[in-house]
Structure 1
Amino acid sequence: MKNFRNYCLYTVLFLGGVLLVSACDLMSEEEFLDRYPKDEPAPNIFFVDESSAKAAVAAAYQPWTRSSSMYQRDLVIMFDGMSDDGHWRPSRGASIQQSEWNITPEHGTIRNYWRYAYQSVNAANYAIEKIPTLLEKGMTQEELDPYIAEAHFVRGFSYLFLVNFFGEVPLIESPLSSMAEFEQPKSSTDQIYERIINDFTLAREKLPEEWPTSYTGSATKATAAAYLAKTQLYREDFTAAETAARSAIEIAENTGYHLVDDYMSIFDINNEANPELLFYIPYIEADDYGANYMVQRLSRDLPPELSHIWGVSGWGYHLPQRDLYEAYEEGDPRREYTIFSTGDAFGVYNAGEPLTYTHERYNDSGELVTYDSTYTAGDTVAYDYRWSPTGMNVRKDIYNIGHLPNERWAGKDVPLMRMADLYLILAEALAEQGNNEALVWVNKVRARPSVDMPPKTAADGSLVELVRHERRVELALEGQRLWDLVRWGEMKNIFGDGTRVKRHFYSDYLPLDHSDRFDNPNLDNYPGDLVLFPIPQNELDQNSEINEQNPGY
């Protein structure tokens, strides 16, 4: 199955009215209390059978999947654009501000992150509370446990996002039913992590090893186990993270998950739900269930004669930076699997008439040179740096969408947790304890047949830096880098004085003051190493229990 939201859109929308309420969305008391339109079922008659439990859990996922701010379109791309890996194409004022860290508490997308995460929390709380009422309808506890466990997983997932990017936030553990209840104080990060750990632990115990084919794409026992390990790592309890990661790997491998030999096949549209993917957001090619995440990854600046190669001229917002390109070791094939750069095989020319195209490139002396290539049907087209503002485009996780009636309806799943990530979670936990076994797990990732990079040894550098490097190149342009830089407290150090992170492929040949030479985000306002998002201003205005903004705002 492609989509865990597929079974009942009407039900999800109904629950959206009841459940998907953020911590303090603006509404009147009368509007809040009038929650059950007469043409829609109230909660006391909604929960009637197993499909009701499925729909309640789907409502908890929905805030993450159906907004342009979230995984449907921008989240992965923007998070890369806020890191040293990527650049957001200069378009849409609010997006430019965010990518450059010119963020204020009034910023709409940051507000949406908070809002949708709490909508998910409230929906999960509702599912946890109400699904057990199906016992009165004849269902057994054993039948209900997987759905309750999945709601716990989604709640933990949402709080892991909130605590990593906002720090101390309100901890809401039951559905809220009045305006007054939304005024909640911040809880400590320790309290929030404790809740997340409990949620993922319960989910690991009660989720199935696999779901029926009609419900795949949902969290499994191995998914919850992997996120439990991730949470312990983020909390910097490295001993607990090691234990949890070893358990997660055992659970995952015993239930059929493994590193896929062919790196590129992990992201192949024809190989979705493959054994590498522990968790992903599923989409299908349709109006209601598609996503425009894909068109934003495709090159925008192609000559029109070449747009057929990937089906369309894309929007081109997701742009790799030279700093990422240089992070790959010489000979690491993952660079070409991930990035299109000058001279790379871009795709196959299949237009009817031959095309003579004048390419440009800089030689090793920094001199601009040109050369002509004539392409006929079946020829491989070489990438040209002028097809992107950074001289590079994303290669990983794209597919031809020319057959779609609307380019916004792409059906490519968005990967969130892979087996390689889990191996590197264990490697990081070991490295932080000074245990050389970390290299065993790093080298398992490097030994993938399609990667086949030489093993690392202790002589190659510090264990922690070796793991961090491997995370960067293995998971590049999957939206993971910002999570890591924030939790490591490395944002300000990575960017330094504004001349450390090269942006353009030919950065070395651009004038020193050229806007595309370096990535220099505005991080001076942050007083320490911890760089967080601001608490949204509307939350501060409406929640009398929160009186303190995050540092730097």
Structure 2
Amino acid sequence: MKHIITILFVGLIFTSCSKVLDKKPEAVFSPANFYKTSADGIAAVSAVYSPLFSPNLYNQVMWVFQDQSTDDAEWGNGRNTANQAKNDLDKYTFTPSTVYFYALWTTCYQAINRANTAIDNIPGITMDATLKSRLIGEAAFLRAFYYFTLVRLYGKVPLITKATKDLSNLNVPRSPVDSVYTQIIKDFTVAENSLPLSYSGTDKGRATKGAAKAFVASVYLTLQQWDKASAKAKEVIDLESQGIYGLWTNYSDAFLVANKNGKESIFEIQALGGGFGQGSFMQGYMRAPYDRGGYGDDPPTKNIYDSYSTSDKRRDVNLKLFTSPPAPSSILFPCYVGKYQDPGATANGEGNNNYPIFRYAEILLIYAEALNEQGSNNPDAYAAINRIRNRAGLNDLTPNLSQGQFRDSVYLERRLELAFEGHRRYDLIRTGKLAEAVNAQNPSIIIKPYQVLFPIPQSERDANHMLDQNPGY
């Protein structure tokens, strides 16, 4: 899906002639005069997608949250960075004023307000009923996605489901976590009931029925509602027989530019190189500084590198270990993310690599985990995880494992399979292993219990006196 970034603005040009002020501006866009045609509805929903690609979300900040604040990536070991915020996330010295918290928070709420505006106004457009239902479903899907992001990182957050129309009633308190999750499930269910299974042409990449089902399964997994998680994951797996989803033969195939929005893709953020201003920054930010002038962000730890067996085909796709030279001898472990490199990109910000938010491989792992939590030695759970392992060149999982042993095996497979795809922090939080894992990777980092949730941005609390802070900050 090509990005359509809709900017709504009022253009007023003041001159020395006072009569100009008596004229009505001709370029004022508002819900009252914008939502007239199906094209308006499409543009409005496309604008809800666009923040996903922002540097404040998946084009940078989310990598810092998901990787550098976990055991998968860490600054130091001979590397220097002038970015204090990244170091603070890395070493858990952050405060409510750390800029990344504000960046992600405000970008998510900007997107939520766009979704609210679309949901409020698209019903009034005279247009094809199927398209109208689809657009409302897409907006609901995206609103749920942004709230799912916020609630997992911050805990209680303001729950706003109506568009902000003026400057009144801007101070909104945080809602209970249960209320936020109830709304998330409701929105994903609306999307599931109104979205198509697939798209064609330039619409590829938009949210689908299968994506809504997959995210509901992920929500239930997060809430430890195992029976609901496995049932919803099975609905997605059943779509494989219809040719909707499947695994590529080779793990590396899932990240080829040629396979964007292919059979393993459930939902991914679209990138378009070629000078359109919509290319991916991953191929530049994550590439080694001595490899075509990369930035060397998200430096993987030896901990994750050593977690792969030498026979695991995923290791050398996900990670690129250099020798010295070309790596400076000061860098103790010169390893970088390898899976998002676009060989055809000529500059940072010009990668054609999509960013995978949800792959079919993950739904198999959700299914395996949820089944095991309902009872050990489930053959379908073994079959699901073994599909992932076998593709990676590994043997079947040892049979007759205890429930705990199988659980740990799934956790490991998620780390290795989904490395640097925006899942690690979420997984460590929901499994209660964040402090343990980070400390095992670097014993000097001691995570205080309250740091499992990020602080509410201080600037937001300054502006909204009804926002309380997470305990401990």
**TM-score, with normalisation over the residues of structure 2?**
0.89
- Aligned partner of 2:400 in structure 1 is 458
Contact 2:255 2:340 in 1 (8 A): yes
1:419 aligned partner, one-letter code: Y
C-alpha contact (below 8 Å) 1:57/1:151 kept by paired residues: yes
Q: Offset at 1:316? A: 0.7
Contact 1:291 1:408 in 2 (8 A): yes
- Contact 1:434/1:463 (8 A) holds in 2: no
1:194 pairs, out of 168, 171, 182, with: 182
Q: Give the AA of the match of 2:60.
A: R
Alpha-carbon spacing, 1:481–1:385, altered in 2? closer, same or farther (3 Å) = farther
**How far apart are the structure 2 equivalents of 1:170 and 1:440?**
41
Q: Does 1:131 align with 2:136?
A: no
Please name the residue that 1:550 is paired with: 470
Would you say 1:226 and 2:210 are equivalent positions? Answer: no
Runs of 4+ in 1 over 4 A off after TM superposition: 383-389
Q: C-alpha offsets along residues 129-168 of structure 1, whole Å, 9 cap, x if unaligned?
A: 1111113xxx132221111000000000001001100001
The amino acid that maps onto 1:13 is: I
**Compared CA separation, residues 276 and 409, structure 1 to 2 (3 A):** same
SS in 2 for 1:408: coil
| Inter-partner Cα distance in structure 2 for 1:541 and 1:435 | 50
Taking structure 1 as reference, are residues 131 and 442 closer, same or farther at Cα in structure 2, changes over 3 Å only?
same
**Inter-CA distance 237–465: structure 2 relative to 1 (3 Å threshold):** same
Q: Contact 1:495/1:520 (CA < 8 Å) preserved in 2?
A: no
Residue type at the aligned position of 2:413: E
Could you list the runs of 5+ residues in structure 1 that have no partner in the other structure? Answer: 19-35, 344-358, 361-382, 502-517
Among 58, 72, 91, the alignment partner of 1:85 is: 72
- Corresponding residue SS for 1:320: coil
SS of equivalent residue, structure 2 residue 357: strand
Task: Give the 5 Å matches for 1:131-530.
Answer: 131-135=122-126, 139-251=127-239, 253-285=241-273, 286-300=275-289, 302=290, 307=291, 312-341=292-321, 386=329, 390-401=333-344, 404=346, 406-437=347-378, 438-448=381-391, 451-459=393-401, 462-496=405-439, 500-501=440-441, 518=442, 520-524=444-448, 526-527=449-450
State the distance in 2 between where 1:51 and 1:199 align.
23
1:83-122 correspondence to structure 2 within 5 Å:
83-88=70-75, 90-91=80-81, 92-122=83-113
128 and 387 in structure 1: CA distance in 2 versus 1, 3 angstrom threshold? farther
Say if 2:461 is the partner of 1:540.
yes
Change (3 A) 1:140 1:129: same
AA at the equivalent of 1:62: S
CA shift in 2, pair 1:220/1:458, >3 Å: same
Paired amino acid for 2:293: S
Give 3-state SS (helix, strand or coil) of 2:74's partner: strand
Deviation at 1:484, TM superposition (A): 0.7
Alignment identity in percent?
29
The number of aligned residues is 452
Deviation readout 1:70-110 (Å, 9 max, x if unpaired): 21234225521111011245421122112222211111111
More strand, by proportion? 1
Residue 363 (structure 1) aligns with: none
CA contact (8 A) 2:318 2:337 kept: yes
Secondary structure, in 3 states, of the residue corresponding to 1:222? helix
**Alignment check: 8 A CA contact 1:47 1:131 kept:** yes
Name the SS for the 1:185 alignment partner. Answer: coil
* Deviation, structure 1 residue 38: 4.2
Query: TM-score with structure 1 length normalisation?
Result: 0.77
Offset at residue 259 of structure 1 (A): 0.8
Shift of 1:420: 0.5
3-state SS of the aligned residue for 2:239?
Answer: helix
CA displacement at 1:275 relative to structure 2: 0.8
Give CA-to-partner distance per residue, 1:10-37, whole Å, 9 cap, x none.
Answer: xx112xx59xxxxxxxxxxxxxxxxx97
Q: How big is the shift at 1:384?
A: 5.8
- The runs of 5 or more residues in structure 2 that have no matched partner are 11-23
Deviations 1:274-315 (A, max 9, x none): 211111001111242123222011111x3xxxx4xxxx2211
Q: Distance in 2 between matches of 1:451 and 1:149?
A: 39
